[in-house]
Amino acid sequence: MPRLVMKFGGTSVANIERIRNVARHVKREVDAGYHVAVVVSAMSGKTNELVSWCRDAAPLYDTREYDVVVASGEQVTSGLLAVVLRNMGVPARSWQGWQIPILTDGAHSAARIQEIDGSNLADGFAKGEVAVISGFQGVHRETGRITTLGRGGSDTSAVAVAAAIGAERCDIYTDVDGVYTTDPRVVPQARRLPKVAFEEMLEMASLGAKVLQVRSVELAMVHRVRTFVRSSFEAPDAPQTDANGNPPGTLICDEEEIVEQQTVTGIAFSRDETQITIRRVADKPGVAASVFGPLTDGSINVDMIVQNISEDGRHTDITFTVPSADYERAMDVLGRLKEKIGYARVEGETNVAKVSVIGIGMRSHAGVAAQCFRSLAENGINIRAITTSEIKISVLIDAERVDEAVRALHVVYGLAG
């Protein structure tokens, strides 16, 4: 029998009635002839509550014990869903990360999956059982201690399990019915995309789209796991295939599956950005390494980088962006480096945002960047920094102009539904 992984996020399992709705979705796939593994998140708001308890208990908590606490949210959900399924006559059992086992490295609170042994799940399938798996968690292969995968880690759990058991596909059920050309709350005319290439989804996830966790997309791309983003709020007995025989929603897949490739697929944006500029740094070999090396050592993620040489040719200004959460730490690191680097001053700006144009069709079409810059200029939106790749263009702008910029770019690339 074919195997299917279904993942349900926190809003989908927020209370018992919604868990019953999830169970009806699962039963539908069991009745359709699938061996099903379900990966669940904690009930909506529960993880935040558990995290706050850890912080109240001790500001500098042990991350190993933190993982024990926050992993309990998914354990509750998996047990409840198994109870509901069994009450509906569907054989099911709950699985925790350490029972499967999902083996990870030792980076507590941000662990990465190293290996999954799917044989225990296969034994359960042979008995006709649905495997209800606690997402977001694993076990350190050396110490045997519980680990968690970072926020949004249940998506990663689901894709990794799908790869391990050779699932036909991985369905990610969430509170939206697919991936859109941009956030419909900003652009009401945004349309749902039937298919998105792995590379595009990876860029969109890393550049601000909240639909999937970045690591889950990476795993799906590496292991070629066909992934559907679907809505858990659709009726379980609603039609389950479109005109092409695919489930409703958005398919994340290989580029080769997408016959009609638009030049631009979507517009992503992130308000979680800050800009830092180091003024009058000596323009000599090794200066960039002396700036960005310590930031990397501090696990501070640097994104857009712009370097301008002064008129005298002996000094340079270096501008870059970091996530808002890393801003204070980055400024502290640079403050301690002033004597070593010998810069004049550091300037910071927190009222900035990043807007990105994404599409695999950009590889074979010229003029995409020019359209972007022209559109922003016509709307009087100043660009602070630019970074590009084969399939994306990102610009840093003033935060208060984000919605206007997204709407303008959405129109200029003809993305409206």
> Residue ranges for the binding site for ATP?
7-10, 174-175, 180, 185, 210-211
| Sheet with 113-116, side-by-side order of all strands | 113-116, 102-104, 137-140, 146-148
Provide φ and ψ at 180, rounded to 5°. Answer: -105, 165
Residue ending a domain, among 257, 281, 298, is 257
Quick one: 306 and 325 in the same domain? yes
Please indicate, yes or no, whether residues 229 and 325 belong to a single structural domain of this protein.
no
Segment 384-396, tens digit of pLDDT:
999 888 899 999 9
Distances (CA, A) of 411 to 103, 190, 223, 249, 371: 46, 10, 35, 23, 11
How far, rounded to the nearest angstrom, does the alpha carbon of residue 14 sit from its chain's CA centroid? Answer: 21
Q: What is the CATH number of the domain that holds 245?
A: 3.40.1160.10
CB 148 within 8 A of CB 136: yes
In a shared domain, residues 70 and 89: yes
Same domain, 225 and 281: no
| Residue 244 confidence (pLDDT) | 67
Domain boundary residue, one of 257, 282, 299: 257
Binding-site members are 7-10, 47, 74, 174-175, 180, 185, 210-211
Dihedral class, residue 367 (left if φ above 0, else alpha if ψ from -120 to 50, else beta) = left
Q: What is the pLDDT along the chain (417 residues), one digit of tens a residue?
A: 999 999 999 999 999 999 999 999 999 999 999 999 999 999 999 999 999 999 999 988 999 999 999 999 999 999 999 999 999 999 999 999 999 999 999 999 989 999 999 999 999 999 999 999 999 999 999 999 999 998 889 999 999 999 999 999 999 999 888 999 999 999 999 999 999 999 999 999 888 777 888 899 999 999 999 999 999 888 888 777 766 667 789 999 998 888 767 889 999 999 989 999 999 888 888 888 888 999 988 888 898 988 887 667 788 889 999 999 899 999 999 999 888 888 889 999 999 999 999 999 888 888 899 999 999 999 999 999 998 888 999 999 999 999 999 999 999 999 986
The tokens describing 250, both together, are 């958005």
In the three-class reduction of DSSP (H, G, I as helix; E, B as strand; rest coil), residue 114 is classed as strand
Token pair for 145: 């201690």
Residues 10 and 124 in one domain: yes
Whole domain around residue 354: which residue ranges?
A: 266-413
Which CATH number does the domain housing residue 304 bear? Answer: 3.30.2130.10
Distance (Å, rounded) from C-alpha 163 to C-alpha 283?
48
**Angle CA 283–286–290, to nearest 5:** 100
If one counts the domains in the chain, the total is: 2
Closest residue by Cα to residue 330 from 344, 347, 355, 343: 347
Summarize pLDDT for 282-311 with one digit per residue, the tens: 888 888 888 899 998 888 889 898 888 766
Same structural domain, 368 and 244: no
Binding-site annotation, residues for substrate: 47, 74
Measured from the Cβ of residue 404, the count of other Cβ atoms closer than 10 Å reads 16
pLDDT at 24: 96
Task: Compute φ and ψ for 328, nearest 5 degrees.
Answer: -65, -40
Q: At 277, is the secondary structure helix, strand, or coil?
A: strand
Residue 22 near residue 56 (C-beta atoms within 8 A) = no
pLDDT attached to residue 417: 66
- Residues 267/368, Cβ–Cβ less than 8 Å: no
Residue 275: predicted pLDDT: 95
* Rounded alpha-carbon distances, angstroms, from residue 334 to 215, 280, 321, 325: 29, 14, 13, 16
Are both 319 and 234 inside the same structural domain?
no
Residue with tokens 């100043």, as numbered in its chain: 382
In the chain, the amino acid numbered 165 is I
Query: What pLDDT does 106 receive?
Result: 93
Residues 244 and 140 in one domain: yes
> Where are any strands of DSSP class E within 190-314?
195-197, 227-231, 250-253, 266-282, 305-309
User: Using CA atoms, how far apart are residues 112 and 116, in angstroms rounded to an integer?
Assistant: 11
Task: Indicate whether 247 and 390 sit together in one domain.
Answer: no
Same domain, yes or no, for 250 and 303? no
> Which among 219, 239, 257 is the end of a domain?
257
Please state the separation of Cα 206 from the chain's center in Å.
6
Tell me which DSSP letter residue 180 carries. Answer: B
